Structure 1
Amino acid sequence: MSKKEDAVDHIMNQWRRERPDLDPSPMGLIGRLARCEMLLRRKLDQTFEHFGMTSWEFDVLATLRRAGHPYSLAPTALYSSLMVTSGTMTHRLQRLEKVGLVERVKSSEDLRSMLVQLTETGLNLINQAVEAHIANEQAILDRLPVESRKQLDKHLVTLLLVLETSMDESTT
């Protein structure tokens, strides 16, 4: 591999050699996105580990924190926002409840329903973790020129909208 080639170029070159009848260029974009996600996940997880949490724990706590005071949501709103199943959410909430980061409280609007709410410990933890998380993301992106970041973000918005639209169409 030359300095201008990445790991995905190597894979695509192998396909070009083995199957010259195919155009592997879609593999390039998708493969790079997947590889970027894997490498980013490693760097992000290091920050979460510093706070004794996993990425999913961070996501749950951050979602509750973003909801604003009193930092609570209905379980259905929480699992819909995090795009996980209700069973997965139940398991995750039990784990977070067990370690004292969230608690279930009665809804003031509907006394028959329960909300998931950050505890004081959970609020303090997520406030510290989100600061470190943003600093980590900034450090990761600092190696890219500002204009490249803006262009990449613009293109990723376009791709995400296309993917979300195609997902919406496939579910109807």
Structure 2
Amino acid sequence: MTSRHSAAESAQPRDSIDRHIARWGREVPGLVPELEGTVTRMQKLVRHLQQKKEAALARHGLKLWEYEILWRLRSAGEPYRMAPTRLAQGLGVHPATLTNRLDRLQLAGLITRENAPEDRRSLLVGLTPQGAAMWAAVIDDQREAEATLLAPLAKKELGHLDALLRVVALAVEEDGPPLMPHVD
């Protein structure tokens, strides 16, 4: 740690990232502890949430790509249907890849494929009640993991963290594509 830290900061418990910064601060001239700490902690927390998501998917017998299709259909709003072409574009996959995946989800009873009412030559992919229930179960698990992760923060602190991260997200969005291109 550098002398720039206040007495209050040094009185806080040290985590593994503090030890990482202390070790690399000796090896990397110009390492900025606050920058390294913030970025490394964000990376660690994202990995933690990803592991929780993977565990939730495994508990429900889903692969990530299956969940992403269910999520995309759910995000379309009621009646939770969309054309396969739009679905493939939103997921960033080739239509042939999507066809194979849709076959598997249909066999599992999680989606349907029907002719579009306005044009019987067009197809619509939709969530079944079972698919919607599966999506909801995973979302509940994710919400619980997120709430548990952020439980150490008071509501006001959580609001501050949200506001600070929004500033950074807006700066990233100004420089390029959105952080989550599949989020509508």
TM-score (structure 2 length as normaliser): 0.72
Distance 1:153 1:37 in 2: 15
Gaps of 5+ in 2: 1-9, 179-184
Q: CA 1:51 to 1:5, structure 2 compared with 1: closer, same or farther past 3 Å? A: same
Q: CA 1:42 to 1:108, structure 2 compared with 1: closer, same or farther past 3 Å? A: same
TM-score (structure 1 length as normaliser): 0.76
1:142 aligns with 2:151: yes
Q: CA 1:110 to 1:161, structure 2 compared with 1: closer, same or farther past 3 Å? A: farther
Task: State the Cα deviation string for residues 57-83 of structure 1 (Å, max 9, x = none).
Answer: 33321331232222112234334444x
Match of 2:164 in 1: 155
Match of 2:107 in 1: 98
2:48 aligned to which of 36, 39, 42: 39
Tell me the number of residue pairs that the alignment of Structure 1 and Structure 2 aligns.
Answer: 167
Identity of aligned residues (%): 32
Distance 2:13 2:52 in 1: 23
Q: CA 1:154 to 1:35, structure 2 compared with 1: closer, same or farther past 3 Å? A: same
Gaps of 5+ in 1: none
User: 5 Å matches for 1:23-172?
Assistant: 23=32, 25-82=34-91, 84-86=92-94, 89-168=98-177
Larger radius of gyration: 2
The letter for the 1-side match of 2:72 is T
Task: State the Cα deviation string for residues 87-137 of structure 1 (Å, max 9, x = none).
Answer: 664554343233221122222344333222112321232233333433343
Q: CA 1:4 to 1:76, structure 2 compared with 1: closer, same or farther past 3 Å? A: farther
State whether residues 79 and 89 of structure 1, in contact with CA within 8 Å, keep that contact through their aligned partners in structure 2.
yes
The letter for the 2-side match of 1:85 is V
